[in-house]
């Protein structure tokens, strides 16, 4: 569940305009789980229902850095880049053509 909340907040952080904002977090059955608060510098802090900081992260240019409540670096996540396939998908095959003799 913590992973799901983190993914939700990453998506939120990417879409936020630079400015302080807060967002309530609710569980799948509607119970209050806490809130997130994003500073103007882009740092998002996640708090549980009792107000304790449980996660911090900052997203910049598609890269998200994660930090523990004590501020220790926990890792990085980079937005995936999807390449276009070099073949067409669901393109019907062309039937082989019979040879033709010209000049008869």
Residue 90 located in a structural domain = no
Length of the chain as a residue count:
104
Residue 17 is predicted with a pLDDT of 47
Tell me the C-alpha distance between 32 and 17, whole Å. Answer: 25
| Confidence class for position 48, pLDDT limits 50, 70, 90 | very high
Q: Where does the chain have alpha helices with state H? A: 2-15
| Over residues 14-28, mean pLDDT | 73
The total domain count for the chain is 1
Tell me the C-alpha distance between 16 and 6, whole Å. Answer: 15
Residue 63 located in a structural domain = yes
Residue 57 located in a structural domain = yes
Whether 14 shows a pLDDT value over 60: the answer reads no
Range of the domain at 44: 2-78
CA 98 to chain centre: 52
Q: How confident is the model over 50-95, as pLDDT tens digits?
A: 999 999 999 888 788 999 999 899 988 876 666 666 666 666 677 7
Tell me the C-alpha distance between 100 and 103, whole Å. Answer: 10
Residue 62 is predicted with a pLDDT of 78
Residue 100 located in a structural domain = no
Tell me the C-alpha distance between 7 and 34, whole Å. Answer: 15
pTM for the model stands at 0.55
3-state helix, strand, coil in the chain (%, to 5): 15, 35, 50
């Amino acid at each position: 569940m913590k992973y799901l909340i983190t993914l939700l907040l990453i998506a939120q952080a990417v879409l936020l305009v630079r400015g302080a904002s807060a967002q309530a977090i609710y569980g799948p059955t509607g119970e209050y789980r806490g809130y997130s608060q994003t500073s103007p510098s882009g740092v998002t802090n996640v708090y549980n229902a009792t107000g304790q900081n449980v996660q911090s992260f900052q997203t910049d240019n598609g890269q998200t850095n994660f930090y523990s409540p004590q501020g220790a670096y926990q890792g990085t996540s980079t937005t995936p880049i999807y390449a276009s396939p070099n073949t067409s998908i669901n393109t019907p095959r062309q039937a082989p053509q019979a040879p033709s003799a010209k000049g008869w």
